Amino acid sequence: MSSVAMGSLFPKELINDMFSKVVGKSSIARLANQIPIAFNGNEIMTFSLDKDISIVAEGAAKPAGDATVGSITITPLKVVYQARINDEFKNCAEDKQLDYLEQFADGFAKKIARGLDIMVFHGLNPATATTATAIGTNCLDLHADVSTASSTASTKEQLLSAAIGSLGDGYTCNGIAMSPAFASALAATTVADEGRPYKDFMWGGNPGTIRGINCDVNPTVAVSASTETTNDAYVGDFQNCLKWGYASNVPMELIEYGDPDGQGDLKKLNQILLRTEAYIGWGILDGAAFGHIFTSNA
């Protein structure tokens, strides 16, 4: 059973600041566009004209053109984080309670950011690092149309070039997400007459762009459900072909009674539980707009 003791939260009655150890950010939020998400889901129509325009000679018939119409449904998933603390929390001064609640909310936001990446990139339940049935193939690792390449045989620069070149016709790369290990190896790349063109990635650097393309370095990229592979980087048209968002507000609930998390009766244990929930949804509009680089560890 896990709970936070008041002594560790407030060693003295008066504390000016609280330091949050929670870390996390989202490459998806950095590279892709956010849209409002309805509780019952969003349906996004996809529309493409499959031929080029045609010159029509005087008196000639106008040739037919093909159009492909489809739709992508974005269904939000419910995510939750909850934690027990000793019920002495209720006896703290109101401003101290507010400090803690603000830190809890800030920590939850970072967990949401990290979790969003793990779900969208890998299709995993962030809490268990196991495949989430509710996500299915709605992730870049499992989407059938996403091009993949093993990173064992080429330089990192060559791999990025090949991955970008593998995108479907008409798509351009406007986003790159890479693991810290991949970024570090890229930083060591030397190019004739340029020296080390990616030295901004040295020592954990995250410059935000590479060759004019938005990029982000994030440990969430490297997460994998398999010990046989390590995820290195994702490239693609994030701005146009991946949409994400969350539904309504994000509520915080303080629960004083019962056994809401299966760890025993709260009143009996002199505890209360803080719970925060959110509904998050995303959609990959065309997997052909993305490429995935991975290392085979087998």
What domains appear along the chain, each with residue ranges and CATH number?
A: 23-46+70-296 (3.90.1690)
Who contacts 160 (Cβ-Cβ below 8 Å, separation ≥6)? 176, 186, 233, 235, 293
Q: What is the pLDDT confidence band of residue 11, given thresholds at 50, 70 and 90?
A: very low
Residue 126 has pLDDT above 90, yes or no: yes
Q: What percent of the chain has pLDDT over 70?
A: 83
Supply the pLDDT for residue 3.
57
List, for residues 131-173, the tens digit of each pLDDT value. 999 999 999 999 999 999 887 767 899 999 999 999 998 899 9
Range of lowest pLDDT (2-6, 9-13, 82-86, 211-215): 9-13
Of the candidates 213, 154, 214, 163, which has an alpha carbon nearest to the alpha carbon of residue 189? 154
Structure tokens at 190: 């030397």
Supply the pLDDT for residue 205.
93
* CA dihedral over 148, 152, 154, 157, signed as positive or negative: positive
Of the candidates 77, 71, 8, which has an alpha carbon nearest to the alpha carbon of residue 43? 71
Taking the model in full, what pTM does it have? 0.84
Query: Residues 31, 140: contact at Cβ < 8 Å?
Result: no
Torsion-angle region of 292 (φ positive above 0: left; ψ -120 to 50: alpha; else: beta): beta
Residue 15 has pLDDT above 60, yes or no: no
Supply the pLDDT for residue 7.
43
Q: What is the mean pLDDT of residues 195-199?
A: 89
More confident site: 71 or 195: 195
Residue 17 has pLDDT above 70, yes or no: no
Q: What is the mean pLDDT of residues 124-129?
A: 93
List, for residues 175-195, the tens digit of each pLDDT value. 999 999 999 999 998 888 778
| Residues belonging to the chain | 298
More confident site: 100 or 287: 287
Supply the pLDDT for residue 177.
98
